[in-house]
Amino acid sequence: MPEPLSSPSPERRPAWRAATVAYRQARRDGASHDAAMDTAERGLQPQWPELSAKEASAEVVAAIAYASSHHSQWFWDGVGRRG
């Protein structure tokens, strides 16, 4: 398995999107970072089932880092707000 990229390749894009959407929703629902990361891994795995747990974790970290820096307004919108 190659090292995760700083931006998603076309074949990674669906898995990264699933992971970031899952993470974002978990955080919007009030989950901690660690709990949201677990949720993101569960979101990524159906898209990329052949990855080991370690590889999936690395992909999630890369996906979250990419989304939080390149799409920060969308990614953080509604996180940390109660209403």
- What digits encode the pLDDT tens for the residues 41-61? 999 999 999 999 999 999 999
Tell me whether residue 23 is in a domain.
yes
- Is the pLDDT higher at 81 or at 20? 20
The mean pLDDT value for 28-40 works out to: 95
Domain count, the chain: 1
Tell me whether residue 25 is in a domain.
yes
Tell me whether residue 58 is in a domain.
yes
The mean pLDDT value for 23-37 works out to: 94
Tell me whether residue 9 is in a domain.
no
Tell me whether residue 7 is in a domain.
no
d(CA 72, CA 52): 28
| Structural domain containing residue 25 | 17-76
> pTM value?
0.81
Instruction: Tell me the three state secondary structure of residue 80.
Output: coil
User: Mean pLDDT in the chain?
Assistant: 86
Confidence bin at 6 (pLDDT 50/70/90): low
